Amino acid sequence: MSPGIKAVDLLAIESQVIWLIEAKDYRQHPRTKTIDLADEVVQKVLYTLASMLPAKINASNTSESHFATEVLRGQQLRVVLHLEQPVKTSKLFPRAIDPSKVQLKLRSLIKPIDPHPKVVESTQMQGLQWTVTEL
């Protein structure tokens, strides 16, 4: 395996749609990674997709193998970045990431995977059929 390989936070199957969901919460602590957020999401999406065939064939756990098989049967891939930032900007916790810019860059980088990726937050879910609650 490649050093530093990562995956998206959630993989969900809805009929024949495979949802690759990455969640980021910067409400308490600002982003400190040097890699661009869109580039990080793209890497995780690609690594996740690349891991599905080996998981289907070589998984030692049958539930993992069955899940990977279902992912590979999917007919559509959807990518979502769930990005939480401070609602009110302040000097201590500024709203430093422009979701529309991240979405535009994601769209250009992963167009063959999902031509319409979404960047959402809990107050603006853009028509997604799930809800997010804070614990």
| pLDDT band, residue 28 (cuts 50/70/90) | confident
Residue 40 placed within a domain: yes
- Examine the pLDDT at 125 and tell me if it is beyond 90: yes
Residue 3 placed within a domain: no
Residue 116 placed within a domain: yes
Number of domains in the chain: 1
| pLDDT band, residue 133 (cuts 50/70/90) | confident
**What domain range is 86 assigned to?**
35-120
Residue 83 placed within a domain: yes
| pLDDT band, residue 23 (cuts 50/70/90) | very high
Task: Write the pLDDT tens digit of every residue in 62-112.
Answer: 999 999 999 999 999 999 999 998 877 667 766 679 999 999 999 999 999
Residue 125 placed within a domain: no
Question: What is the predicted pLDDT for the residue at 3?
Answer: 81
- Examine the pLDDT at 16 and tell me if it is beyond 70: yes
Residue 47 placed within a domain: yes
Phi, psi of 8 (to 5 degrees): -65, 160
Question: With contact defined as beta carbons under 8 Å apart, do 83 and 18 qualify?
Answer: no
Residue 65 placed within a domain: yes
Residue 11 placed within a domain: no
- Examine the pLDDT at 123 and tell me if it is beyond 70: yes
Q: Which of 72, 84, 10, 16 is nearest to 44 (CA)?
A: 10
Phi, psi of 112 (to 5 degrees): -65, -25
Question: What is the predicted pLDDT for the residue at 1?
Answer: 64
